[in-house]
Amino acid sequence: MSVFKLAVATSATACLATEQTSTVNPIRKVVTMLQTMQKKVEAEGAKEQELFDKFMCYCKNSGGELEKSIAEAEDKVSSLPAEVEESEAALVQTKSDLKKAQNDRSSAKAAMAEATAIRGKEAAAFAKESGDLKTNIAAISKAVSALSNGQAGAFLQTEAASILKGLVESSAGMVDVDREDLASFLSGSSTYAPQSGAITGILKQMGDTMTATLKDVSDTEQVAISTFDQLMKAKTAEVQALTESIELKTKKIGDLGVKIVALRQDLTDSEESLLEDKKFIAELQKGCGTKEKEWAETCKLRSEEMLALADTIKLLNDDDALELFKKTLPGSASFMQLAESSTSLKTRALAVLQDAKSGRKGDRQRLDAIMLAIRGKAVNFDKVIKMIDDMVVLMKQEQLDDNHKKEYCEGQFDVADDKKKELIRAEDKLTAAMEEAKESVATLTDEIKELAAGVKALDKTVAEATANRKEENSDFKTLFASDTAAKELLAFAKNRLNKFYNPKLYKPQAEATLAQVHMHDAPPPPPEAPAAYAKKTEDGNGVIAMIDSLIGDLDRELTEAETGEKLAQEEYEELMADSAEKRAADSKALTDKEALKGETQENLVELTDEHKATVKELMATEEYISQLHAECDWLIQYFDVRKEARTGEIDSLGKAKAILSGADFSLVQTRAVHFLQRA
């Protein structure tokens, strides 16, 4: 914006200021305007410098994904206004519904109060009427009983007789003859001697009539009570339902307000981003070199403009110049005094309204309108009174609107503050959950690594144990075969020796069997020996004993080998079972922890997204609370002042109306009023 345009705009704004200002040196305003222009030029320079730096950076780095950013921003800019419009329409409708619900609730409460007052009056009237009827019926019953028992004289001395006498004298529906008979009877006149039967009949008839009346009154009262209870029950339910509706609508207004703020902020951000991106592309198309030249020219012009502003401020701000302008540029305005009203009523009414006007802070145009109408030469008091009545109705409606607005503001503050606290708590919880998830992922990674190493080591141990078991089993089988063959051979040798030295112990079948088994091992038949050889029985038995010892050693060795093999096989099978169980458990744990790690990582991503959304919603809520403060703080702060001032205005208007209607207020002091008008 050029210096001339800015000066014109600032001057136009200054012309809209209030007319009633204190006298100041006008040149001060000019200096202030120039200083404002100076700051604006500096701010524009800083902003344009930032834009230029961005542009040159883009020129050097070729823009990156600028086209994609523009496309996304254009999509958002085209879609978000519809969402904002829809949300704003919903907000307007909800506010309208809220106001209607508030008015309906106020009307329902007023109806309940009115019905309660009417019910109280009806109950009091019923209590009095039923009490009188019961008293009179009791008096009549006593009189009938006294007459029936021949104790008329004693009855006439009781309080009941006095009550009955008053009833007879005041009863409008009684026949005159009956009234005279009863009056003579109750007065105890000696000149009257009627039949007691006639008096008793009259009294019974009166008692029956009053009893019927009491029943009708009681029935009517019960109907009124039932109707009142039904009305109060219905109105209470209506008020409760309206209160719940108001609360829901208040919460909805808060949610919509936050949503609209967020959508508008998103739209603003998208528009600004789109604007900047498009501006960059447009500038880029013109050429980076051309832009540098233009920027140099811009900087030069801005420097010249700043210099011109500084020189002008220095020139005008000089003490001598200020003193000269103060003498040559007067800033005060003249006023003239108008004559006071001629008629007494107009003067008194204007005095009351002037007092109200001078004592109230705020808009005084409505009182000015009434006062202007009263000052007119051809005053029609009926029209003025009608204006006063309309204004009173308007101010009462304004007070009701203020009440509803205050209720709405307080409710919105409560809802928004609660939501802010809830979002802060949620943000804290999400932050803690994110940290916990990160720790869990790290812990699970270490545990998975340890489990995988353990499974690998276990597989190696099982392979080694299996190889050892095969080798041990092979050694056992070899030992078993060798020892068994040795035992058989020793048994054959023993049997053969027994054949010679101990024929009774010889076992031909065993020898044959062994010969079949070891036929290929049998030595060739001995050569023919000389006869008459003497047996060496003792030596042979010694050899046999030695063979038995060797067979025993072999048996013990086989037994130990079998026992060792059995134990080794059992230990191997137990090791395999334990290893299989542990491997299955570790494999399952490994699979579970890998799945849990995946879920935790997914949960961390979700928590991160939710945290970002929560922070964004929290910022929108804080912005909405800021808007609420801008909308409601003034009303809440000056609610009591406005209410008091409005009440005073209504009271003053009532007094003015009464004065114009011809009433006389001795406490109202009439005074002359001077009105100042701009010359």
Write out the DSSP string of 344-410: HHHHHHHHHHHHHHHH--S--HHHHHHHHHHHSSS--HHHHHHHHHHHHHHHHHHHHHHHHHHHHHH
pLDDT of residue 7: 39
Angle between helices 26-61 and 196-286 (to 10 degrees): 60
Neighbour-count burial for 570-604, b at 16+ CB within 10 Å, e otherwise: eebeeeeeebeeebeebeebbeebbebbeebeebb
- Determine which of 120-129, 153-162, 295-304, 486-495 has the lowest per-residue pLDDT on average: 153-162
Minimal CA–CA distance to 487: which of 547, 544, 551? 551
Which amino acid belongs to residue 601? Answer: Q
How many helical (H) and strand (E) elements, i.e. helices and strands, does the chain have? 15, 2
pLDDT of residue 439: 92
How far, in Å, CA of 407 to CA of 221, rounded? 39
| 93 confidence band (pLDDT: 50, 70, 90) | very high
* pLDDT number for residue 346: 66
> Quick one: pLDDT at residue 192?
40
- So what's the pLDDT on residue 72? 81
Mean pLDDT of 153-180: 70
Q: Is the pLDDT of residue 5 over 70?
A: no
Q: Say if residue 237's pLDDT is above 90.
A: yes
Q: Cα(635)–Cα(643) distance, rounded to whole angstroms?
A: 10
State the average pLDDT over residues 523-529. 40
Instruction: State the CATH architecture for 422-520+539-633.
Output: Orthogonal Bundle (1.10)
Per-residue exposure over 327-348, b if at least 16 CB sit within 10 Å of its own CB, e if not: eeeeeeeeeeeeeebeeebbbb
End-to-end alpha carbon distance in the chain = 37
Supply the pLDDT for residue 63: 54
> What are the C-alpha distances in Å from 667 to residues 12, 348, 670?
49, 12, 9
Q: Within 13 A of 235's CA, how many CA atoms are on the CB side? A: 19
Reported as a pLDDT band with limits 50, 70 and 90, residue 485 is confident
The answer to which of 1-10, 428-437, 536-545, 655-664 has the lowest mean pLDDT is 1-10
Cα(488)–Cα(466) distance, integer angstroms: 33
Q: What average pLDDT does range 433-459 have in this prediction? A: 90
pLDDT at residue 644 in the model: 86
Each residue's pLDDT tens digit, 597-632:
888 888 889 889 889 999 998 899 888 889 889 888
* Tens-digit pLDDT profile for residues 627-654: 889 888 888 888 888 888 888 888 888 8
Greatest alpha-carbon span in the chain: 197
Residue at 21: amino acid letter: T
Q: How confident is the model over 238-251, as a mean pLDDT?
A: 89
CA dihedral sign, ordered 187, 192, 196, 200: negative
Cβ atoms 492, 514 nearer than 8 A: yes
Q: Decide: residue 143, CB within 10 A, 0-12 exposed, 13-18 middle, 19+ buried.
A: buried
What percent of the chain is helix, strand and coil (3-state, nearest 5)?
85, 0, 15
Of 619, 602, 599, 604, nearest to 432 by C-alpha is 604
Q: Residues 467-476: pLDDT tens digits?
A: 888 888 888 8
Cβ-contact 669, 354 below 8 angstroms: no
Where are the chain's structural domains? 1-61+310-333, 87-264, 422-520+539-633
Q: What is the pLDDT of residue 334?
A: 33
Residues 290, 294, 300: CA angle, nearest 5 degrees: 150
H/E segment holding residue 552 = helix 537-637
What pLDDT does residue 412 have? 87
Question: What is the spatial distance between Cα 131 and Cα 138, in angstroms, rounded to a whole number?
Answer: 11
Q: Token pair 């958002």 is at which residue?
A: 76
Give mean pLDDT, residues 335-339.
33
Tell me the two tokens of residue 191: 């000149």
| Structure confidence at residue 230 (pLDDT) | 92
pLDDT over threshold 90, residue 451: no
Higher per-residue pLDDT: 341 or 639: 639
Q: How does the average pLDDT of the chain come out, rounded? A: 76
Q: How far apart are CA 508 and CA 100, in angstroms?
A: 127
CA pseudo-torsion sign 52, 53, 58, 61: positive
Give me the mean pLDDT over the 507-517 stretch: 52
Q: Assess contact for 226 and 138: CB atoms under 8 A.
A: no
Rounded to the nearest 5°, which phi and psi values hold at 479?
A: -60, -40
Q: What share of the chain in percent tops pLDDT 90?
A: 9
Token representation of residue 591: 């699979």
Residue range 219-233: mean pLDDT, rounded: 91
Name residue, tokens 């009179």: 136
Of 411, 412, 446, which is closest to residue 627 (Cα–Cα)?
A: 412
As a whole number of angstroms, the distance between CA 394 and CA 655 comes to: 17
The answer to whether 171 and 139 are in contact (CB under 8 A) is no
What pLDDT is recorded for position 152?
66
Assign 376 a pLDDT band (cuts: 50, 70, 90). low
